[in-house]
Structure 1
Amino acid sequence: MPYFSDLLAATWLLSVGDSFELVSPAGAVAPSPPAGPAPSDVTEVAAIAAGGSGAAGALNRNRNRNRNRNRNRNRVLGGSRTGQGGGFGGAQILAPWRELEMLHRLAPAWIDLPLALPPAPSGLMAETLDLLARRALLDTLAEAARRDEILGQVDLELSGYLRPLGIESDDAMPETTALMLTVVWLAETVGLRYKARYDAPRPSEVNPQLKPFVAVPGHASYPSNHSFQSYSIAFVMARVIPEHPGISALFHSARRIAENREWAGVHYPSDSRAGHDLARMMVPVYEIVLEEQMLRARAEWL
């Protein structure tokens, strides 16, 4: 029997979740993949992602044992910007690496969703004409409140998602807040992948007469991640608390947040529609990746 040191000398010992996996160095013959057809839908992909043999299987077997120990890993950190608790502003979580890992394991279920193509260049130019009119209105006294909203929504700000549900501070419902923040992480990851695929130019690139109200992000326009993240939160919460009377208001708020980016001149209406559609198509994936968090959030409302 070889010494453990000899085994390590011929392999890499990699951490995989709460277990380890021995990986042969480059040039070694990799083990054959399991026989059988490729997964055809999100359920089959999820079964493969959660199960398997080796370290991945050990991770799955240890999941129940480690569940309670890891319950706090996505707890909301901070509170309001004042540090006094209450209010909105400073809520954040540590990177939800387990959920992100599961999301990437489920990539075959979401990497090629039937999202409509962005409009042709002539269509994008036509959309900018409406954006020019709205941009001019934005500078008027009547739209002062919208200007404040736009500036507050440049970065993640949860009041637009919590208040429709009757929550008046980041720390009032910590599991619900943590779930929303985790959804934002996942949607950011998926959204950037689709942005890179379509590589649509920003409105001000298509029509230089348009002067955006806020800084233009450095990535592509389609789909809108503000829209995608906002509607993702709304769709997930509609699964968590479908009976809540504030769910319709949450969807209205998601639409308002998406439209504000159009008023600011950084997104087309077609970007916002695509964000909504992508969020709706991602729901089956979210329900798998976020099962535990959704159940914990649900328990807060019972």
Structure 2
Amino acid sequence: MARPFQASVWRPSTWRASLLRGRGAPGRATEWGESTFEGLRWQRARAAGRRWAIWGALLGAMVGLIVFAPAAWLASAVERATDGRLLLADARGSLWRGSAVVVLAGGTGSRDARALPGRMDWTLRPAGLGLALHLRHACCLNGRPQVRVRPGLGTLAVSMQGAPGWIGQWPAAWLAGLGTPWNTLELGGALRLTSPGLTLLSAQGRWRIEGSAALEVLNAASRVSTLPRLGSYRLNLGSNPAAPGQALLELTTLEGALKLSGTGALGPGGLRFRGEAQADEADQAALNNLLNIIGRRNGARSVIAIG
């Protein structure tokens, strides 16, 4: 039996519901996408903030480490640069302002060491493209000598400037800290350093000297001689125009019973020196032991050869 025809009935409420459902779908998708992008932006901002915080902490630690660097850093650098022969013992303060006891020693493992009286103070400050080191030592330095350090691209310049006259004066007995033969000689008198200006330049691991300096031994004496005074002497150090990487040495006698003379050079190959020591006939007996220690005997002379 055929079904009777039924006309569809239009209901406004049904049509509005379907229309609202159709319009609502894009809105919900947009809201979901925006919330997802906001979450990603928040996560990225948090990660960036964390990275900046880490870098800030590292930078702060580095700045603090530099500003409050201990004086022991300078003491360690000096010890390495001199192979353990010049020491800044009992270093106190910071790298920028500190003090220490200055000691001469025979090198790593040596039992010989001599300290200067009192403490040497220093201040280290930026100066142009380099650093300026000012020193003060009541016993031994004239005023506040200055050492300037200027690093460059593969180069390093170290300049010494002092007050007019002498720069430093130390007891000759201080040399005994270097060991043999100074601990045997036990020198008396004083060491005095003068210089109109001296610069050490390093390029590609090689040093050269510009300027000049003189080290004087004044009123020298020794326990291996019966003479109360041996004399006074000067060792000149200056650049060599013929060989830019080399410094010339010249030893002369200013006055005294023991006569010293010699010449040499200091360069990339190390120290080379040739000289001699001799005494007047009247003083030979008193200086005989000393002449035997200074060098190889050749009659009345003692030949000095280094390098």
TM-score range, shorter chain: under 0.3
The structure with the larger Rg is 2
* More contact order relative to length (CA 8 Å, sep ≥ 6): 1
The normalised TM-score by structure 1 is: 0.26
Could you say which structure has the higher helix fraction? 1
Could you say which structure has the higher strand fraction? 2
The normalised TM-score by structure 2 is: 0.26
